[in-house]
Structure 1
């Protein structure tokens, strides 16, 4: 199954967080966050968070009774497409557009000091401001439906498009509400290797 790329425009949405990042710090965070959220362990954690509640809801409302079994196969492909740092949610040129010029975002190696408070603030802001933003979610749903994902199911393309519309917004709503702060602290301290202000 070929995985397509999704471009997400985040400009201005996350910038309202308290984070004061350098371009170098943001670039480092974006690359590591993309690696983290597209890893197998993280994807299984995402499924654990949303599968039961979302699949129960769509089974009742839309008779999508195969949701639980199909999601085990389909979500890893979707997560790897939308959360990656090359063309997805954490693409540096969009994720860090408030902190980097175009030249910096292309060439930055992600070095420099990253403060823990800023890193955690920024990671906390990602789901808060983007995971159920109607424009972003609408764009992702459209991309899944018409820009490569559903087309691979030649005999059930329309069925796939319908299932995406029923499930994806609900999935992101659950992920937005998940208690991720401590996970973000762990990510910033151990993956980003941030330093404390104090």
Structure 2
């Protein structure tokens, strides 16, 4: 009779532990509400605006939407921000069309340059002394990079009839979507919750084994 009671007790204990394990598996993270993830800081977005008398409207390139053409255009002007030059101003009739480039960070203008991709003797760049961010620089002329023509074409600016050195451009309206980066914090949080949940199930099973062993020991 005592053995029957012990077996009944063991069955009840095992059934209770099994039900608890099922509840844990179905409940989110130990049955408690998951902590709210901290908001990610706003990303820094750079932009470059290109304007010219030869364009019907300015062309805007954003670092988060037009990655390739933006990177190419930034490479044409970023190195000029604090550079020095003793280059003399070319003759005005040798410069060709002017393209004014304004670089901004999160919508705030920082730098401006005048680009002359078709200047005689090679591309030229003029850096005005008056900069949008009020930093102190001197007005200066620079020899531009030979990639300036291709970079402007990649941004959607027609220069003569030559084919672009790089395929395609944004044309002022076509959007090149940036590849979304994985949310590392969310992935780590999911992994932690998964490990914690499995740990809880292991604890419940271990308690069940201990209870069964204890019950059998009492029957001996």
TM-score calculated relative to the size of structure 1: 0.26
Higher normalized strand content (fraction of residues): 2
Higher relative contact order (CA 8 A, sep 6+): 1
TM-score calculated relative to the size of structure 2: 0.24
